[in-house]
A and B are shown apart, each in its own frame.
Chain A
């Protein structure tokens, strides 16, 4: 589903000493089926921005369109929006509450008013998508490991079968294995369910590996946007705002500066390997 954001601004706590312009004149378009990485420092407004997209936060100014729906302004059409735009919060395992994993994942679908049979089907599909074994269904969500809890929480959003899936730092605090597993699941879901995915992250390596397009946020403003190649071309701008390009990309840039004719747009280790192999003929 296409997402259009025009002149979006958000002022936090206006009229108090805590007042702060969290977002300033944000403009971007995300095409249907894109896998977009939203990167920026902590405090750059990433989380605030994504909460606008499912109607949880109302902008101070500006327009947001999700597909054909305008979700801002006086005639905002936000009914059931959270079922269309699924948002997985940071540390989503902290919102688990039900007695069993099954009930927790079923919370979203039952709020949609679906039939028990449909709910059952969706819970099972969602558990399968995130790689949770069906044996866990009747277990308490508080008795499983941190990585599994996070999968349960993601499944809870997936079970609503949203058209747009937004994940706010889904890998924060996970070990490398857990991180790869979660991100691989998300890639699989993106392909299988034909969802538009927005991945909020500050790991350049992660977004380089999984996303097609990037949106870079700094102090509430969009500083760069476009394909991986377009964004990573501006290595200096990224460094200026305290971010960086992936380390392999940096290494390849250095090699090119030394006059080695290696392919330019290399963002992952496996791409680097094939580029080097090509050099050797």
Chain B
């Protein structure tokens, strides 16, 4: 990423941001507080090129957007009642090692056994090495050594599942 700043006397400041993808974002911060944003796909401005997209923000809007971009306002948890419920829940990433009881079995099989020990725990996803994350994996997915299971539920339930599935990892 490259950022260039230029003073525009009588107007404000101009920032030209070239992203890694080669797109260009020009932001003019006016003395009046107005922000003028222009987005040029693939690096403009070219002769006569109109920006791909343009946007004007007031000072207040710009600050809000800036805070969101900087991650200041981002809360991973939802708010209110949901938050307190979430606090008791947990998500665990459990890696299946060679020799674990779960290895070689289908997900359906494993899930049935997990349900017996801890009915509130759920297998959300499987991460197979070299593949993208499989959310809501189909029941016939076979668990192989090195797979990572994403399990959610109350802490005790998740711990119980972990004990059953991956005894070797946590002796």
A binds B: no
Residues of B within 8 A of A (CB): none
